[in-house]
């Protein structure tokens, strides 16, 4: 029976191993008797936790961490011998050791559990520095003043100074609150008022405690001093080392000598390495110590991947080494205050390596590390592009950190909320649960270093604080949102400037929005960027967190934005001020003129070759590609194309074999007109149930083979099935949420939207590109703007995080491309030789409506997602290769623009150095 009262209702246990958490809550009153009881209960639950997978083990971690942070009662009316606690602890850690060895995918969470349980009930002392200061504040009702300032400093960096501060507080309390004693202890140990103010998080206040706090503070600060000394004198690390290297104590009197044998199989020279670490553990210059600690972790790595009886001793040593790295890095912040970028980058490499060594899924982190090493060597070699390249690695590192924080939040926070609520844990401890875990790890140190380097790189590379994607002068009221996606279907009654923390790239811009400002970095040629420029909405990325915070603080205010190509100047418009004095008017909201479509009919043909493409049969995408054939320079490849014309979908739907599907779609369309938008997904799923009339299959086969394209059915019935499913997905994309709301916004009759399908062979690209033959951000028609990604172009036009490589090229000098930014996209898409089915509707190229990119293009085969390593990519490291490729892309764009006589938006790929253009359309 539970004896706990929920502290706050934190939901229904969704996203947790609920049955396990309920069991833990039921057994908590038994677990409170002693550590022996708690560890034994946890050991009994390990099998069930393991069988529940990652969320099961996350539940154990949450419970053990609530224990370690003293949120749960440790001992209640029960006497237990230390060796009994030790025995229970051994049993639990051995079971965890076995899970670690047998289930590599759960290693990270198992390490975290071990660090809360510890070798001797202590847990990870480095982590405890953060946890225990919160406990001291709460237990002694001293949350403001010096204790809060010290808490903030400890979270940002802990150093041997904290041992002195703790001692000064103890001496002050013992001297009956004599402030002179406090300052004497500090000054005797080299800590002045100036030093306290020089910390990243300064300590301004003097202690000022009440008499009734004396006893509790002395007790808790005494415990805390042991934790601080264990970290800063290396005592915890020393005991972990001796446990692995072996030691012997001679027994005295009735005590028997204790002998611990060395862990077998330690690398040769390992004992000298850890001895070096211990000799340098308290030194101010932390670089040699950090190098030694990381070398020791690298040496241990192979042993941690093998199963052996002493594995947990090695794990506890690795946890202690990891903790020592974090502490040393924080101590090193001081010497970085006046350091150049080279030194900061070196520290970033060290911390990133430490994080990778503690992470299961670390491929992206390792490629970030390789990127930093390359940036460092470029910097040392005085390469003029070093800062621009380092900025791309920095952006990718930030993405990796965000992904890691989000995965922790997803895996841990629901369990913390559900179990915390069941056990009556205080709300503050539940709410900051995951945040505290992240703040105590290497990811937080890495984030601090990256934030320190970012402005240096921006200044060196002349990047400024903004990237302006759509420079439109405007006035509007500030609204702050977490993500653009959440408000994309909203309509704002008054002109609104959206300050959005997250913009992915595929969103619509809500009605009534006059500007979107974000710290996120969607590609300049992403859907949302194109939308912004077409709708004359100001759109810009802000790189400076201080400026962004200032904009957020202006919520509800009326602002005037005046962007240039390089920055956004903003000023507040005071109530009553005559807006007409400004050079712009408040934008009229909600006055979109309706657009009309012509309904397309079935021509009697199921498939046509590119020679037969006409406006009645296919969209502009297909017609443009057919027009280019034979007219572009011979070195530009144009893929062979055929098409499934307009009206085929409706004709297939009316086929007798599809009667039931047609009826279901009609019912769902009725739901849609009544405002039930969940019908969109159901319609897309229902379209997938269509059968292919034999005549369609026969005509498509004949047309494809006649055009020299491979017929999927020749590889077996299953391959044709894949192709047919892809065709139906393209047809079904007429009912994509984004596309549907976009057509509603401009009052297009959705029923009149017809979809032809352009069928092309997929070129397994090395790189993909999108060209705008007039620079879209400046409107300069004398220069071509291009973005390039590794692999297929979907990572460029879809909402894949990170930036592409971007460059401009003057049309009068096509051999001198100028790189504006290097790529930070962690993922590339690659595919076998395949067929792609591209959407080509009659609603994509209407004047006044940018429908491009709204509907889906679907390859017959799944693309492979590959984590990218840019550090060995010739486009990054070989200047002559880069110049050749970028110049040939710009030259192809220029030739196509000359052919049409108007600015063009062009998509293409590079394969083995050859340029292929897969589509072009007028640039809007």
Active site residues: 527
DSSP letter at 465 equals: S
Q: How far apart are CA 876 and CA 377, in angstroms?
A: 13
Check: CB of residue 617 under 8 Å from CB of residue 605. Answer: yes
Q: Give yes or no for a contact between 203 and 149, defined as CB atoms under 8 angstroms apart.
A: yes
The answer for 476, left when phi > 0, alpha when psi is -120 to 50, beta otherwise, is beta
Q: What are the b/e assignments for 715-736, b being 16+ CB within 10 Å?
A: eeeebbebbbebbbbbbbbbbb
758 forms beta bridges with 643, 838
Identify the CA nearest to 349 among candidates 314, 319, 316, 379: 379
For residues 766 and 841, is the Cβ–Cβ distance under 8 A? no
Q: Name the pairing type of β-strands 538-542 and 558-563.
A: unpaired
Give me the sheet containing 858-859, strands edge to edge: 608-609, 641-644, 755-762, 834-841, 858-859
Report the C-alpha gap between 634 and 299 in whole angstroms: 56
Q: What is the DSSP string of 8-53?
A: S---S-TTS-HHHHHHHHHHHHHHTT-HHHHHHHHHHHHHHHHHTT
DSSP state of 52: T
Cα 210 from Cα 325, distance rounded (Å)? 37
Q: For every residue of 550-610, which 3-state class applies, written as one string?
A: HHHCCCCCEEEEEECCCCEEEEECCCCCCHHHCCCCCCCCCCCCCCCCCCCCCCCCCCEEH
Round the CA-based radius of gyration of the chain to a whole number and report it: 32
Burial 676-699 (b: 16+ CB within 10 A, else e): eeebbebbbebbeebebbeebbeb
| 785-to-119, 269, 747, 771, 776 alpha-carbon distances in Å | 59, 55, 32, 6, 7
- Of the candidates 904, 867, 861, 884, which has an alpha carbon nearest to the alpha carbon of residue 790? 867
The whole-angstrom distance between residue 692's C-alpha and the CA centroid of its chain comes to: 41
Name which of 507, 504, 494, 395 is nearest 454 in CA terms: 395
Specify whether the CB–CB gap between 317 and 300 falls below 8 A.
yes
731: its two tokens = 């047809």
Contact between 376 and 342 under an 8 Å Cβ cutoff? The reply is: yes
């Amino acid at each position: 029976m539970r004896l706990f009262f929920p502290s706050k209702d934190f939901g229904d246990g969704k996203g947790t191993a609920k049955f396990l958490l309920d069991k833990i809550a039921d057994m908590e009153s038994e677990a409170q008797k002693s550590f022996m009881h708690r560890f034994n209960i946890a050991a009994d639950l390990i099998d069930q936790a393991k069988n529940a997978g990652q969320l099961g083990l996350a539940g154990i971690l949450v419970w053990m961490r609530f224990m370690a942070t003293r949120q749960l009662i440790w001992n209640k009316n029960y006497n237990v011998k230390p060796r009994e606690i030790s025995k229970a602890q051994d049993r639990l850690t051995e079971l965890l050791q076995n899970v670690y060895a047998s289930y590599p995918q759960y290693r990270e969470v198992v390490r975290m559990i071990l660090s809360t349980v510890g070798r001797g009930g202590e847990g990870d002392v480095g982590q405890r520095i953060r946890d225990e200061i919160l406990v001291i504040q709460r237990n002694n009702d001293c949350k403001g003043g010096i204790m809060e300032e010290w808490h903030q400093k400890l979270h940002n960096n802990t150093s041997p100074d904290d041992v002195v501060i703790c001692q000064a507080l103890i001496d002050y309390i013992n001297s009956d609150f004599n402030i002179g004693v406090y300052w004497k202890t500090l000054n005797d140990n080299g800590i002045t008022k100036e030093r306290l103010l020089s910390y990243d998080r300064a300590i301004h206040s003097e202690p000022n405690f009440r008499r009734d706090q004396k006893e509790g503070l002395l007790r808790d600060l005494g415990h805390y001093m042991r934790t601080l000394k264990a970290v800063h004198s290396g005592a915890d690390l020393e005991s972990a080392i001796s446990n692995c290297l072996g030691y012997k104590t001679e027994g005295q009197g009735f005590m028997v000598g204790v002998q611990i044998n060395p862990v077998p199989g330690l690398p040769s020279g390992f004992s000298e390495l850890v001895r070096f670490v211990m000799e340098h553990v308290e030194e101010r210059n932390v670089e040699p110590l950090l190098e030694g600690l990381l070398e020791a972790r690298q040496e241990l790595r192979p042993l941690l991947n093998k199963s052996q009886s002493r594995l947990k001793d090695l794990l506890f040593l690795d946890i202690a080494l990891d903790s020592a790295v974090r502490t040393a890095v924080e101590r090193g912040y001081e010497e970085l205050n006046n350091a150049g970028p080279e030194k900061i980058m070196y520290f970033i490499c060290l911390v990133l390596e430490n994080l990778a060594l503690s992470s299961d899924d670390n491929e992206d982190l390792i490629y970030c590390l390789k990127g930093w090493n390359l940036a460092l060597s470029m910097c040392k070699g005085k390469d003029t592009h070093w800062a621009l390249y380092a900025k791309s690695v920095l952006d990718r590192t930030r993405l990796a950190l965000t992904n890691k924080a989000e995965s922790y939040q997803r895996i841990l926070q629901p369990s913390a909320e559900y179990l915390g609520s069941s056990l009556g844990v205080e709300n503050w401890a539940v709410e900051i649960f995951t945040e505290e875990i992240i703040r105590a790890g290497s990811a937080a140190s890495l984030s601090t270093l990256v934030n320190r380097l970012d402005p240096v790189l921006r200044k060196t590379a002349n990047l400024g604080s903004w990237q302006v994607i759509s420079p439109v002068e405007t006035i509007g009221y500030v609204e702050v949102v977490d993500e653009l996606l959440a408000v994309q279907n909203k309509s704002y009654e008054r002109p609104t400037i959206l300050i959005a923390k997250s913009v992915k790239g595929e969103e619509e811009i809500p009605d009534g929005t006059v500007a979107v400002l974000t710290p996120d970095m969607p590609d300049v040629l992403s859907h949302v960027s194109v939308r912004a420029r077409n709708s004359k909405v100001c759109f810009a990325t802000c790189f400076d967190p201080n400026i962004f915070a200032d904009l957020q603080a202006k919520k509800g205010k009326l602002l005037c934005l005046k962007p240039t190509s390089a920055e956004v100047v903003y000023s507040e418009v005071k109530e009553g001020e005559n807006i007409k004095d400004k050079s712009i008017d408040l934008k009229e909201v909600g006055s979109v003129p309706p657009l009309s479509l012509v309904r397309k009919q079935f021509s009697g043909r199921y498939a046509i070759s590119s020679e037969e493409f006409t406006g009645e049969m296919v969209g502009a995408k297909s017609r443009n590609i057919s027009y280019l054939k034979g007219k572009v320079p011979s070195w530009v490849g144009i893929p062979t194309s055929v098409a499934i014309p307009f009206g085929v979908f409706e004709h297939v739907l009316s086929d007798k074999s599809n009667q039931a599907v047609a009826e279901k779609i009609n019912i769902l369309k009725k739901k849609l007109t009544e405002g039930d938008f969940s019908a969109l997904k159901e319609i897309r799923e229902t379209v997938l149930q269509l059968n292919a009339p034999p005549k369609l299959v026969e005509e498509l086969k004949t047309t494809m083979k006649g055009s020299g394209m491979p017929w999927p059915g020749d590889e077996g019935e299953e391959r044709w099935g894949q192709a047919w499913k892809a065709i139906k997905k393209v047809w079904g994309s007429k009912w994509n949420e984004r596309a549907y709301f976009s057509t509603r916004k401009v009052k297009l009759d959705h029923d009149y939207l017809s979809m032809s399908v352009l069928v092309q062979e997929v070129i397994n690209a090395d790189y993909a590109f999108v060209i705008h033959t007039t620079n879209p951000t400046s409107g300069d028609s004398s220069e071509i703007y291009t973005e390039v990604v590794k692999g297929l172009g979907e990572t460029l036009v879809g909402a894949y995080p990170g930036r592409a490589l971007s460059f401009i090229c003057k049309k009068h000098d096509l051999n001198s491309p100028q790189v504006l930014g290097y790529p930070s996209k962690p993922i590339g898409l690659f595919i076998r030789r395949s067929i792609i089915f591209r959407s080509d509707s009659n609603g994509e190229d209407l004047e006044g409506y940018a429908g491009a990119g709204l509907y889906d293009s679907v390859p017959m085969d799944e693309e492979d997602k590959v984590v990218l390593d840019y550090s060995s990519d010739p486009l990054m490291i070989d200047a002559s290769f880069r110049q050749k490729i970028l110049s040939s892309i710009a030259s192809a764009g220029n030739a196509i623009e000359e052919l049409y006589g108007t600015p063009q938006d062009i998509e293409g790929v590079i394969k083995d150095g050859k340029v292929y253009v897969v589509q072009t359309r007028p640039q809007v």
